[in-house]
Amino acid sequence: MRARALAVVAVVPLLALLAACGGGAQSAGLTGTVLDPPFEVAATPLVDTDGAAFSLADDTDKDLTLVFFGYTNCPDICGQVMATLAGTLTRLDDEQKERLDVVFVTTDPARDDEAVTEDYVSAFDPSIIGLTGDLDDILEVGESLAVGIDKGDKLPSGGYEVTHGTRVYAIDADDESPMMWNRDVSQAQLASDVLTLLDEG
């Protein structure tokens, strides 16, 4: 398990290199990085907070889906990104929100079961979809988006940190990810990009 997770982590520096060499590029008027070619999202089903199967490919039927991989015990980055996603939703009107899903995928399913994940996402915005499931399945879906996932060493407190992605990914109606945003994207920037992508869709 650890070897497989570490192999996924190795993809992340490669992605950065590709972006520097033309694999990803800033598009005029957009803050996010365009992925060319786009990532093909794995259809492997995960588990939503009601215990039902949910696939980022098969069950994302809206025009656009934003997905972030993190975990509820994350001390910093996850809360920042989730707040950005929640704030982005407040900048959209009801019709725009109807065309968008926001999804949080835990990278720590051993601690983040359905109930824990539901409480976490609801604290940011009740409309955010929370997903957990088997770690192998989460690794497979994460790998399709070049998200590195790895359980870290035990902390003095008795807990542990989890290596996870820090980017937000767009998934379009073709089950592909054409764009990603770094963790420091602002609510205004992300909302602007979302509206542009919805208009193009």
The residue ranking higher by pLDDT, 4 or 38, is 38
Dihedral Cα 76, 81, 86, 87, nearest 10 deg: 100
Cα 18 to Cα 74, 86, 176, 185: the distances in Å are 28, 30, 18, 20
Range 167-192 average pLDDT: 96
Asked if 97 contacts 16 with a C-beta cutoff of 8 angstroms, the reply is no
pLDDT score at 75: 86
Instruction: Report the run of H or E that residue 120 belongs to, with start and end.
Output: helix 114-124
The residue ranking higher by pLDDT, 149 or 104, is 104
Residue 82 clears pLDDT 60, i.e. is over it: yes
User: Domain limits at 47?
Assistant: 2-200
> Which residues, other chains included, contact 166 with Cβ-Cβ below 8 Å and sequence gap of 6+?
77, 81, 182, 183
Q: What CATH number has the domain bearing residue 50? A: 3.40.30.10
pLDDT score at 27: 58
Sign of CA dihedral 8, 70, 175, 22: negative
Instruction: Report the run of H or E that residue 95 belongs to, with start and end.
Output: helix 94-98
- Can you tell me the distance from the alpha carbon of 142 to that of 147, in angstroms, rounded to the nearest whole number? 5
pLDDT band, residue 18 (cuts 50/70/90): very low
Cα 177 to Cα 48, 57, 58, 97, 170: the distances in Å are 21, 10, 14, 19, 5
Residue 64 clears pLDDT 90, i.e. is over it: yes
pLDDT band, residue 159 (cuts 50/70/90): low
The residue ranking higher by pLDDT, 125 or 28, is 125
Sign of CA dihedral 187, 92, 112, 118: positive
Q: How many domains does the chain have?
A: 1
pLDDT band, residue 78 (cuts 50/70/90): very high
pLDDT score at 26: 53
pLDDT, tens digit, 9 for 90 and up, residues 111-127: 999 999 999 999 999 99
Beta carbons within 10 angstroms of residue 53's beta carbon: 13
Cα 159 to Cα 45, 113, 155, 174: the distances in Å are 28, 16, 5, 39
- CA angle in degrees (0–180, nearest 5) for 24-30-32: 45
Asked if 142 contacts 165 with a C-beta cutoff of 8 angstroms, the reply is yes
> Which residues, other chains included, contact 54 with Cβ-Cβ below 8 Å and sequence gap of 6+?
45, 46, 47, 48, 129, 131
